[in-house]
Amino acid sequence: MNSILNFPERGNYGNASYRGNCSGYVQKELIEHFKPTLFIDVCEGSGTSADVCKELNVDYIGLDLHKGFDFTRNAVLNFTKKQADLVFSHPPYHNMIDYKAERLKHNLLTTGNDLSSCSSVEEFLELSQLMLLNQRDAARKNGIYTTLIGDYRKSGEFFSFQSDFIKMMPKDELLSVAIKLQHNTMSSFKNYNGSFLPNNHEYLIIWKKKEADVFSFIETKIAEIKRTYNDSWKNIVKLALMKLDNKAKLDDIYSMVMVLAPEKIKVNNHYQAKIRQVLQVNFTPVERGVWALN
């Protein structure tokens, strides 16, 4: 596997008519290099990863909104029941493609929090971090979690999503970044003048999971990605609720946060008050002492 990935043909994997479908040779390169015994794809789309894993005889679990799995509301491990050697995602690039309409066109389920329907880039990045945390949680120690993401341009403003994604996650877990060339894109057939440069590549970001707890590295990234302290707590509490099947008693939420962020809890005598504050601002009380995702 090299740092430049160039696949002029997408291969006979997945459904080529499903927009945004990536080349199956990406997953094939990952599998042949890292040799996982279990491969998980958290946004399966048209089934590209499934076809590659079947060809290479690798155990596979595929999750997607059209299968009833929402990585912004459901913990991957609650579905898979086991951690994987390699956890992969190829999420929407914000609203570049309307995937709710795409799933409707292919007669697939359209419910759930679709990253292509986010109201802002900020919301997209917040939910993307939750996706990556979910992937990391589903990877075994020394396992690989990875995502394929491109850049985004809106109203003349350029957003480097790969840069944001790297800042969101532990610096010492970043293993490599590969450049994947894109072929037959709409911008490839146009001539542009001025300062606009067409995007003809994507980034495959690869992390290797260590033992660091979730909160300890999130807090160190807050200034870099211009988030607030409460936002970091929000994603931790949300992940805790997701792992508790989206509804839990306050004491169970405390316990799960302690599992997710033990080092942070050790030095914070008021962590329960902070958790209650986050719950009151961001989540729904369904009965006394019981909270649920909105």
Residue 231 has pLDDT above 80, yes or no: no
* Domain termination residue (choose one: 158, 185, 208): 208
Residue 241 exposure: Cα atoms within 13 Å on the Cβ side: 28
Say whether both 201 and 232 belong to one domain: no
Say whether both 145 and 33 belong to one domain: yes
Say whether both 88 and 218 belong to one domain: no
Say whether both 9 and 140 belong to one domain: yes
* Domain termination residue (choose one: 182, 208, 234): 208
CATH code where residue 23 lies: 3.40.50.150
Range of the domain at 221: 214-292
DSSP code string of 95-151: TSS-HHHHHHHTT----S--GGG-SSHHHHHHHHHHHHHHHHHHEEEEEEEEEEE--
Amino acid sitting at position 147: T
pLDDT of residue 122: 84
pLDDT of residue 195: 56
Average the pLDDT over each of 17-21, 26-30, 123-127 and give the range with the smallest value: 17-21
Say whether both 151 and 56 belong to one domain: yes
Mean pLDDT of the chain: 82
pTM of the model: 0.73
DSSP code string of 39-97: EEESS-TTTHHHHHHHHHT-EEEE--GGGT--TTTS-HHHHHSS-EEEEEE----TTSS
Token readout for 1 is 């596997």
Say whether both 104 and 228 belong to one domain: no
Say whether both 174 and 273 belong to one domain: no
Say whether both 218 and 74 belong to one domain: no
263 has which bridge partners? none
For 258-289, write each residue's pLDDT tens digit. Answer: 888 887 677 778 889 989 999 998 898 999 99
* Domain termination residue (choose one: 155, 188, 208): 208
Q: How far apart are the C-alpha atoms of 87 and 84, rounded to whole Å?
A: 6
Say whether both 223 and 104 belong to one domain: no
CATH code where residue 279 lies: 1.10.10
Residue 123 has pLDDT above 80, yes or no: yes
Q: What is the number of structural domains in the chain?
A: 2
Say whether both 57 and 197 belong to one domain: yes
Say whether both 232 and 132 belong to one domain: no
- The whole-number average pLDDT for the span 47-59 is 95
Say whether both 152 and 283 belong to one domain: no
